[in-house]
């Protein structure tokens, strides 16, 4: 049986200043539990696409449908602001490249995990603390750090905390924008291992933007290759990386092999 579609982009287009076409004619689906990588060089439109999907930037044309509670799909940009925020809160988690963009720096690590749960209706302090402790453990942040501010954490630990904050409310969809960018190689490897096992264990559908094909190979089932705002190649990750069809993808893969 084919898996339910949890996110669908159709004819998505975003233009800046009337002439910079950041995204054009983007069509794709993300199925429940699937991991899709979006790769392409700097400026190809990856982050803009993610921002349109995450409700952060309104597309100029096209639709973004996401599955909400009960499996019904809603068109994100047809909803009013309140309904859109609510749909996003219940269905979607977002991990920014810079953890500081996704964390509340003025509240404790535990508070960062608990806050989205409070918004979704859990009010009991003891229960919130228990769930926060459980999540800290899952992302390998020592439990004793629960009352510490994120600014006292290392970059890798901050990123793991941001992942806990995004996943704690139980979203069906997780969007990640270069989640390992800016981290040391050894820290990156640990984070990738953690992400891979969390995503598989929770069965969350993930869309991961990366310019690192190694990250894409490790995490993604399927890949979309972007060039100048368009998806120029799409397919199973191994297929795209082992037998790229588009000349641009061939160059991208060859440049990775040279490193």
Ligand X SMILES: Nc1ncnc2c1ncn2[C@@H]1O[C@H](COP(=O)(O)OP(=O)(O)OP(=O)(O)O)[C@@H](O)[C@H]1O
In the block, residue with structure tokens 């050894």: 186
- Does position 138 interact with ligand X (CB under 6 A)? The reply is no
Measure the CA–CA gap between 17 and 172, rounded to whole angstroms. 34
Select 190 or 230, whichever has its Cβ closest to ligand X: 230
Figure out which of the listed residues 9, 24, 30, 44 binds ligand X, where binding follows CB under 6 A.
44
Figure out which of the listed residues 7, 28, 46, 160 binds ligand X, where binding follows CB under 6 A.
46
- Does position 20 interact with ligand X (CB under 6 A)? The reply is yes
Q: Tell me which stretch binds ligand X (CB under 6 A): 15-23, 80-88, 114-122, 182-190.
A: 15-23
- Does position 125 interact with ligand X (CB under 6 A)? The reply is no
Q: How far is the CB of 181 from ligand X (least distance, A)?
A: 9
Measure the CA–CA gap between 114 and 129, rounded to whole angstroms. 7
Measure the CA–CA gap between 140 and 191, rounded to whole angstroms. 10
Q: Tell me which stretch binds ligand X (CB under 6 A): 39-47, 110-118, 139-147, 238-246.
A: 39-47
- Does position 16 interact with ligand X (CB under 6 A)? The reply is yes
- Does position 47 interact with ligand X (CB under 6 A)? The reply is yes
Q: How far is the CB of 206 from ligand X (least distance, A)?
A: 17
x/- map, 154-193, ligand X, by CB under 6 A: ----------------------------------------
Under a CB-based contact definition with an 8 Å cutoff, are residues 244 and 252 in contact?
Answer: yes
| Angle 189-35-31 from CA coordinates, rounded to 5° | 165
Figure out which of the listed residues 43, 155, 214, 235 binds ligand X, where binding follows CB under 6 A.
43
Q: How far is the CB of 214 from ligand X (least distance, A)?
A: 16
Which residues contact ligand X (rule: CB under 6 A)? 16-17, 20, 22, 40, 42-48, 211
């Amino acid at each position: 049986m084919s898996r339910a579609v949890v996110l669908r982009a159709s004819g998505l287009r975003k233009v800046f200043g009337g002439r910079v076409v950041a995204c054009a004619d983007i069509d794709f689906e993300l199925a429940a539990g699937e991991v899709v990588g979006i790769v392409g060089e700097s400026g190809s439109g990856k982050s803009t696409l993610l921002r349109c999907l995450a409700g952060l930037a309104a597309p100029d044309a096209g639709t973004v449908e996401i599955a909400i509670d009960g499996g019904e799909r809603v068109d994100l940009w047809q909803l009013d602001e309140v309904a859109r925020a609510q749909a996003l809160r219940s269905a979607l988690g977002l991990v920014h490249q810079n953890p500081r963009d996704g964390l509340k720096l003025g509240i404790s690590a535990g508070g960062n995990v608990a806050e989205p749960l409070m918004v979704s209706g859990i009010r009991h302090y003891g229960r919130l603390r228990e769930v926060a402790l459980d999540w800290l453990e899952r992302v390998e942040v020592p439990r004793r750090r629960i009352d510490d501010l994120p600014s006292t954490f290392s970059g890798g630990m901050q990123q793991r905390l941001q992942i806990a904050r995004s996943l704690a409310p139980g979203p069906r969809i997780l969007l990640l924008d270069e989640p390992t960018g800016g981290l040391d190689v050894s820290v990156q490897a640990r984070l990738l291992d953690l992400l891979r096992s969390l995503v598989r264990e929770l069965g969350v559908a993930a869309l991961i933007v990366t310019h690192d094909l190694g990250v894409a190979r490790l995490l993604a089932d399927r890949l979309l290759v972007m060039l100048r705002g368009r998806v120029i190649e799409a397919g199973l990750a191994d297929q795209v990386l082992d037998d790229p069809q588009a000349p641009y993808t061939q160059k991208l893969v060859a440049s990775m092999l040279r490193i």
